[in-house]
């Protein structure tokens, strides 16, 4: 067997493999003997089929199969041994393959096209500047959050007459009776000019309204009628609501019951501690978003400042082959820039990982999963389940046939890469309000 690498350019090459009969024939002979032992052919006892008949019936197919197995293994071994950092997978040169005479040839030559990234370097220094934001919560966000918590954990009551902010439960019916649903209308979802006709309603009262003029948007119509938003767009005309119940959520009081519902049993024990904990939680959530935003900007900056030559024609061809006919050349052209952006970022993170000796251990993955589960439990008011974390984490990483583990592994690796980058570039820290940050994201 002879294997040679032919470099066509900085990003494209081919692997040429020449096989002679001695390379593949021993395996072919072994397989023919195995077929002879197992073959069941009418007129012959098991194991007594003439070898010539087996060779005539299956010989060519066996040879092709064994040569393909040998090729696959040889190409993979060559790539590993020579540490070729290929993109995609090797693609057989179909023009050369079509010239093969399987009936008469004893020596075969195969060519596999490969693509690699051009040589590149990632500059990490204080010349690279990215804004890093620290979010100041402020009174407005604190007041909004406190009001939301009081509403979320408040008690539902049934007052006699409706007021702004109430929920009206009843039968919603179109004028022609083609639609009749039992649902809930939130008065806050009604256009401000139309709200007054829904104020002061009592049980068994009926009110008529124009379905499109009354609600603020299609989502509110869909919520009230049980339709999809697309279906809600098509609804027109006069509808009626016959009230069965007026529902009102009374805000919760700032007491230990609320503190326990929000943060867990006895996590905070006074109004002062509760307010402080709420503020810390808001700041933590916003600053996590701000860190993600900065990481996104770091990624964009490194992509813009790092030139990586790619084997574009090879990759486009490989994408079509790899997707087994599910995408067309036009599909690839349309999505190619997005694909290569992800590919270039993956190459950059690989290079940073190599140069900074970044590794992800199993323990790192498990710690990340446990942190994620802690946050989910706390958000559901189920903190204090530390004893069950190991079982929860193990169950999670085994989900989706191991894909959950690989997803978290990638996230941890990306975070470690970002930590390394943040230490070497210049982060220009800026304090902004939560409102300013939200506007910036929008």
* pLDDT tens for each residue of 231-259: 999 999 999 999 999 999 999 999 999 99
pLDDT at residue 382 tops 80: no
7 and 111, same structural domain?
Answer: yes
Considering the domain boundaries, does residue 411 fall inside one? yes
Task: Point out the least confidently predicted range of 49-53, 72-76, 149-153, 410-414.
Answer: 49-53
Number of domains in the chain: 3
**Domain boundary at 222, 250, 278, which?**
250
348 alpha-carbon distance from chain centroid: 20
Considering the domain boundaries, does residue 159 fall inside one? yes
pLDDT at residue 381 tops 70: no
Domain CATH code at residue 80: 3.30.70.1050
In this prediction, residues 29-42 reach a mean pLDDT of 86
pLDDT at residue 90 tops 60: yes
**Domain boundary at 187, 215, 250, which?**
250
**Amino acid 117: pLDDT:** 94
**Amino acid 383: pLDDT:** 56
Query: Rg of the chain over CA atoms, in angstroms?
Result: 34
**Amino acid 57: pLDDT:** 87
Considering the domain boundaries, does residue 145 fall inside one? no
Helix (H) or strand (E) holding 404: helix 403-424
Considering the domain boundaries, does residue 148 fall inside one? no
378 and 314, same structural domain?
Answer: yes
431 and 292, same structural domain?
Answer: yes
pLDDT band at 401 (very low <50, low <70, confident <90, very high): confident
The tens digit of pLDDT for each residue in 147-196 reads: 999 988 999 999 999 999 999 999 999 999 889 999 999 999 999 999 99
The tens digit of pLDDT for each residue in 298-349 reads: 999 999 999 999 999 999 999 999 998 889 999 999 999 999 999 999 999 9
Burial 135-160 (b: 16+ CB within 10 A, else e): bebeeebeeebbeebbeebeeeeeee
Phi, psi of 398 (to 5 degrees): -85, -10
Helix (H) or strand (E) holding 194: none
Task: State the CB neighbour count (10 A cutoff) for residue 348.
Answer: 20
421 and 317, same structural domain?
Answer: yes
Is there a contact between 352 and 420 (Cβ–Cβ < 8 Å)? yes
Please choose, from the candidates 382, 355, 287, the residue with its C-alpha nearest in 3D space to the C-alpha of residue 279: 287
170 and 312, same structural domain?
Answer: no
388 and 277, same structural domain?
Answer: yes
348 and 221, same structural domain?
Answer: no
262 alpha-carbon distance from chain centroid: 29
**Amino acid 158: pLDDT:** 95
Considering the domain boundaries, does residue 255 fall inside one? no
Please tell me the distance from the alpha carbon of residue 41 to that of residue 54, in angstroms, as a whole number.
10
The rounded percent of the chain whose pLDDT value lies above 70 is 98
Helix (H) or strand (E) holding 79: helix 51-81
pLDDT at residue 48 tops 90: no
305 and 238, same structural domain?
Answer: no
The pLDDT mean for the chain works out to: 91
Element counts in the chain: helices (H) and strands (E): 15, 11
Per DSSP, the residues of 245-262 read EEEEEEPPPSSHHHHHHH
Domain CATH code at residue 279: 1.10.3120
Through-space distance between the first and last CA atoms of the chain, rounded to whole angstroms: 61
Helix ranges (H only) for 250-361 are 256-263, 271-305, 312-322, 329-355
423 and 314, same structural domain?
Answer: yes
**Amino acid 374: pLDDT:** 82
Domain CATH code at residue 175: 3.10.50.30
402 and 292, same structural domain?
Answer: yes
The tens digit of pLDDT for each residue in 111-122 reads: 999 999 999 999
pLDDT at residue 440 tops 60: yes
**Domain boundary at 192, 217, 250, which?**
250
**Amino acid 386: pLDDT:** 64
Considering the domain boundaries, does residue 13 fall inside one? yes
In this prediction, residues 124-150 reach a mean pLDDT of 93
In this prediction, residues 361-377 reach a mean pLDDT of 88
Task: Point out the least confidently predicted range of 29-43, 136-150, 189-203, 350-364.
Answer: 29-43
Q: Calculate the alpha carbon distances from 267 to 225, 270, 273 in Å.
A: 42, 10, 9
Considering the domain boundaries, does residue 143 fall inside one? no
Considering the domain boundaries, does residue 150 fall inside one? no
Please tell me the distance from the alpha carbon of residue 269 to that of residue 255, in angstroms, as a whole number.
9
Please choose, from the candidates 221, 137, 134, the residue with its C-alpha nearest in 3D space to the C-alpha of residue 174: 221
Please tell me the distance from the alpha carbon of residue 367 to that of residue 116, in angstroms, as a whole number.
35
**Domain extent for 185:** 155-250
46 and 159, same structural domain?
Answer: no
436 and 346, same structural domain?
Answer: yes
């Amino acid at each position: 067997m002879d294997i040679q690498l032919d470099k066509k350019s900085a990003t494209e090459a081919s692997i040429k493999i020449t096989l002679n009969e001695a390379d593949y024939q021993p395996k072919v002979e072994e397989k023919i003997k195995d077929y002879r032992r197992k073959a069941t052919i009418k007129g012959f006892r098991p194991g007594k089929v003439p070898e010539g008949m087996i060779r005539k019936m299956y010989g060519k197919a066996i040879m092709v199969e064994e040569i393909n197995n040998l090729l696959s293994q040889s190409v993979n071994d060559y790539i590993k041994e020579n540490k070729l950092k290929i993109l995609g997978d090797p693609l057989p040169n179909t023009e050369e393959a079509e010239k093969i005479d399987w009936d008469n040839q004893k020596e075969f030559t195969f060519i596999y096209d490969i693509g690699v990234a051009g040589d590149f370097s990632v500059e990490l220094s204080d010349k690279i500047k990215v804004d890093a934001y620290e979010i100041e919560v402020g009174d407005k966000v604190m007041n909004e959050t406190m009001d939301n918590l009081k509403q979320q954990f408040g008690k539902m009551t049934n007052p006699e007459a409706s007021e702004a902010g109430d929920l009206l439960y009843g039968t919603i019916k179109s004028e022609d009776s083609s639609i009749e649903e039992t649902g809930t209308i939130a008065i806050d979802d009604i256009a401000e000019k139309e709200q007054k006709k829904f104020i002061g309603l009592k049980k068994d009262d009926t009110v008529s309204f124009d379905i499109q003029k009354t609600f603020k948007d299609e989502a509110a119509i869909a919520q009230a009628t049980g339709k999809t938003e697309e279906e809600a767009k098509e609804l027109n005309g006069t509808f009626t609501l016959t009230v069965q119940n007026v529902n009102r959520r009374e805000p919760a009081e700032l007491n230990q019951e609320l503190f326990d519902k929000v943060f867990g049993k006895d996590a905070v024990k006074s109004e002062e501690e509760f307010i402080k904990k709420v503020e810390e939680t808001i700041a933590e959530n916003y600053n996590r978003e701000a860190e993600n935003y900065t990481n996104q900007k770091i990624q964009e900056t490194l992509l813009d400042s790092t030139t990586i030559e790619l084997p574009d024609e090879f990759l486009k061809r490989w994408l079509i082959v790899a997707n087994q006919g599910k995408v067309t050349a036009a599909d690839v052209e349309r999505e190619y820039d997005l694909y290569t952006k992800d590919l270039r970022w993956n190459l950059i993170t690989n290079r940073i990982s190599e140069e900074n000796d970044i590794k992800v251990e199993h323990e790192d993955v498990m710690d990340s999963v446990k942190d994620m589960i802690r946050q989910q439990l706390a958000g559901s008011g189920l903190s204090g389940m530390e004893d069950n974390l190991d079982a929860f984490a193990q169950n999670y990483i085994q989900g989706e046939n191991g894909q959950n583990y690989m997803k978290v592994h990638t996230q941890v690796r990306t975070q470690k890469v970002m930590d390394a980058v943040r230490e070497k570039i210049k982060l220009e820290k800026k304090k902004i309000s939560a409102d300013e940050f939200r506007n910036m994201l929008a």
